[in-house]
């Protein structure tokens, strides 16, 4: 049963003018983050750059803010500041993806974009399928016919039907595909497939850690600064003090892996973001040689709320584009330098304390500490960032709509960068060693108050909007 073909989408969209007007009226619409035009957004998909043009696809339920049948939405940009919203790229219009076009990726080679994604099917007998599907494009706007790569019958027989989210990695002339999976004993793992020409994929290996969640989603395997990293989103980790406090986690391991002998060891798992709303990131190499990552500013099945935006007909967003670096076996992430182009109306302080009354809800704070000392920063009325010399914490009250606190242990904070949008926070600590991402729904004015036990150099910027050229609706 087809759930959302292009024809169905066009017909429904023509009847949804009131929805789009309601969405536009929401004061919590973000100014410098990508959001769905209406409806629901989740995982970034198919990220790539071709001939200078960045393509940003994403999981998209166009008319349902609580989610529904998924297709791929599509933004493009040349500078990460000016964007164009396009018609959806992939529709649920084939027997192998009839109930949804799930997450996948892009691999660019010789001017051809190879898209791999998961097609979801729910059969009349209640059984389900998650099929790996391939298609190609020369421009990122049109694509060849879909072709089936693997069905559930092709995966190892001890797996559940949960096998999804293909991502391609090339090493020594060979192509590797990582797929997130869950076996029949509820153990999460990665399937590693191999091909010498992007077809006829053969199972190469299985990567796992004992007793580490029941499902591993959205794997991303890449080399960075001479080291191999595996980023993935495990489900089913138990809370451990300050760690693993979200319903589902996202993090990375430094992977020691010999692709010939299959000798493998993990460095351990570290959360890539410590905030309330972060999941399913995906990275790609751009034409400048940067590894850029977007994440979903959201999580499924949350115990807290985004009700203000749901009431207006939309939900979720993507993070700022982040450039990844590796230092001492750890991933660091900072906003792409293009985001600096949104800065305006700079205010500078060198002080132990300051109070700043903003003229709008969108700002950046860049703070350099002369020495690592305790501090407290209050945003709006009830959002507090604090450091006591050993623990950094983000705490929310009413503005969090159920979000309470998240924290990390660190013996030093030397710099802090805070990006506040109308309903989101992204906090980067120690050159991006630690990051906190969260939605927020403040009621008061965007005031900032700092108190600390030493001096800091502080720059505060108002932030401009990204420009999004909308498609006709």
310 phi/psi in degrees, rounded to 5: -60, -40
Tell me which DSSP letter residue 465 carries. Answer: P
Residues 6+ apart with CB under 8 A from 307: 401
Question: Which of the residues 43, 93, 183, 277 is marked catalytic?
Answer: 43
How crowded is residue 455: how many other Cβ atoms within 10 Å of its Cβ? Answer: 16
Q: Are strands 264-266 and 270-271 parallel, antiparallel or unpaired?
A: unpaired
**Rounded Cα–Cα distance for residues 260 and 262 (Å):** 6
**Beta strand segments in 78-187, E:** 82-90, 100-109, 112-122, 128-137, 147-150, 159-171, 174-183
**Rounded Cα–Cα distance for residues 434 and 250 (Å):** 13
**Rounded Cα–Cα distance for residues 130 and 118 (Å):** 6
Tell me which DSSP letter residue 361 carries. Answer: S
Residue 93 among the catalytic residues = no
Decide: 164 and 102 in contact? Cβ < 8 Å. yes
| Helical spans, DSSP H, in 40-148 | none
Burial class (CB in 10 A: 0-12, 13-18, 19+), 384: middle
- Looking at the annotation, which residues are catalytic? 43
């Amino acid at each position: 049963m087809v759930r959302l073909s292009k024809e169905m989408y066009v017909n429904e969209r023509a009847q949804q003018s009131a929805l789009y007007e309601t969405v536009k009226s929401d004061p919590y619409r973000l100014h410098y983050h990508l959001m769905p035009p209406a409806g629901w957004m989740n995982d970034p998909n198919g990220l790539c750059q071709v001939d200078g043009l960045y393509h940003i696809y994403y999981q998209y339920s166009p008319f349902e803010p609580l989610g529904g049948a998924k297709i791929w939405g599509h933004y493009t940009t040349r500078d990460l500041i000016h964007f164009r919203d396009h018609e959806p790229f992939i529709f649920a219009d084939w027997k192998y993806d009839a109930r949804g076009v799930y997450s996948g990726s892009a691999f660019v080679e010789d001017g051809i974009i190879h898209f791999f994604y998961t097609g979801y099917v729910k059969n009349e007998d209640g059984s389900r399928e998650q099929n790996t599907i391939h298609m190609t494009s020369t421009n990122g706007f049109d694509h060849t016919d879909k072709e089936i790569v693997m069905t559930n019958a092709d995966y190892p027989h001890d797996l559940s039907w949960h096998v999804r989210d293909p991502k391609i990695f090339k090493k020594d002339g060979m192509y590797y595909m990582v797929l997130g999976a869950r076996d029949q004993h509820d153990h999460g793992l990665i399937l590693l497939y191999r091909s010498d020409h992007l077809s006829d994929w053969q199972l190469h290996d299985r990567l796992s850690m004992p007793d580490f969640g029941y499902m591993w989603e959205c794997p991303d395997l890449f080399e960075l600064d001479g080291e191999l990293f595996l980023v993935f989103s495990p489900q089913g980790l138990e809370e451990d003090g300050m760690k693993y406090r979200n319903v589902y986690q996202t993090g990375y391991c430094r992977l020691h892996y010999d692709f010939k002998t299959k000798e493998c060891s993990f460095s351990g798992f570290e959360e890539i973001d410590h905030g309330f709303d972060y999941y399913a990131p995906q990275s790609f190499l751009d034409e400048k040689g940067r590894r850029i990552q977007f994440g979903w500013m959201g999580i499924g099945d949350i115990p807290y709320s985004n009700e203000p935006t749901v009431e207006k007909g939309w939900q979720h967003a993507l993070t700022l584009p982040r450039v990844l670096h590796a230092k001492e076996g750890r991933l660091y992430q900072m906003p792409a330098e293009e985001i600096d182009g949104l800065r305006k109306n700079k205010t500078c302080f060198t002080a132990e304390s300051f109070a700043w009354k903003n003229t709008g809800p969108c700002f950046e704070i860049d703070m350099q500490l002369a020495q690592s000392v305790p501090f407290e920063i209050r945003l709006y009325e009830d959002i507090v960032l604090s450091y006591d010399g050993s623990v950094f914490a983000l705490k929310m009250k009413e503005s969090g709509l159920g979000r309470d606190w998240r924290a990390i242990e660190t013996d030093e904070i030397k710099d802090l960068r805070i990006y506040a949008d109308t309903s989101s926070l992204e906090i980067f600590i120690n050159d991006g060693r630690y990051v906190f991402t969260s939605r927020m729904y403040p009621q008061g004015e965007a005031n900032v108050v700092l108190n600390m036990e030493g001096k800091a150099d502080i720059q505060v910027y108002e932030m401009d909007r990204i420009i999004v050229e909308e498609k006709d609706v």
